[in-house]
Amino acid sequence: MFTRKTIKPQGKFIFITGASSGLGRETALFLAQQGFQVFGGVRRAQDGETLAADCKSGRIKPVIIDVTDEQSVKAAASQISDTVEGQGLWGLINNAGICISAPLECVSSQLLRHQLEVNLIGQLAVTRAMLPLLRTSQSARLVNVTSGLGTVAIPYLGAYSAAQFAKEGLSDALRRELAPMGITVSVVSPGAIWTPIWGKIALEGEQALSQAPTEVSALYRDTYLNFLRFNEQGARDSRTMPADVAAAVFSALTSEKPKTRYRVGADIRRGALLARWLPDAILDKMFRPIVTPVPSSKEQQHV
């Protein structure tokens, strides 16, 4: 029987950003449990203390980092370098991210810049800072966590999709540029999963509507709020769990020949196929109900 060769995690150092909650926290704890020495990137010292306390193996060391702050990124790299010394860093998992959801007409330039700063520009800043440590290690791994929305863009998540599409492209270029150095690059793309990010999505989306001109927000409010409810319920009902994402990241870090892409969840695998094979006109028709107002009860009576 064929058995895929794997690399033992014991004694190897990895760094994961966005480890204070959600997918990042679950992945950090899982990787530490499997034997990795984990640097968990968090923005607040309190989150780092909680993360370390919840790690039964004691193999998580919190690192304070704001991926949008170059000085913070450099300080994190220096801290990690002092710990790993000549061994280097086996893996970097770029997981930190936010999701800005709103009709694009209601997304201010400031909001869009913030989305791109966190999910794209900050990811490259972290990668640049950690590459010398990755090169020190033999056959190091770079894992970029994106989303199913990096393959298919849907209404009211355009800003987030723009960042994720760009991160997919960044990953492809990095994979080809770093291959001669022995660094493999994998993308882990989760589908819908219930995590604390959903509460933030609704709050920030409603704020974006409130900051747009009234005549503009009125055009979208009903369909957008309905979309938020439907999307959140879809995440709650999803059978994909954070543990599935953690397992995919672990595979990317330990497989002798890691995949270039790990699609986690039936919905993202289905979406990738549809995006590849269906014409744009058919995809547009599939998404049309999202932006189509639901008739009121009075309107339905007159139909």
Instruction: Kindly list the catalytic residues.
Output: 160
**Bridge partners, 91 (sequence order):** 14, 141
Asked if residues 252 and 177 have their Cβ atoms less than 8 Å apart, the reply is no
Q: Are 42 and 48 in contact (CB under 8 A)?
A: yes
Pairing mode, strands 37-42 and 60-64: parallel
CB atoms within 10 A of CB 81: 16
Alpha carbons within 13 A on the beta-carbon side of 116: 13
Taking phi over 0 as left and psi of -120 to 50 as alpha, with beta for the rest, 203 belongs to alpha
CA pair distance 82, 158, nearest whole angstrom: 40
Edge-to-edge strands of the sheet including 184-190?
Answer: 60-64, 37-42, 13-16, 91-94, 141-145, 184-190, 261-264
Exposure pattern of 132-165 as b/e (b: 16+ CB <10 Å)?
ebbebbeebbbbbbbbbbbbbbbbbbbbbbbbbb
**DSSP designation for 11:** T
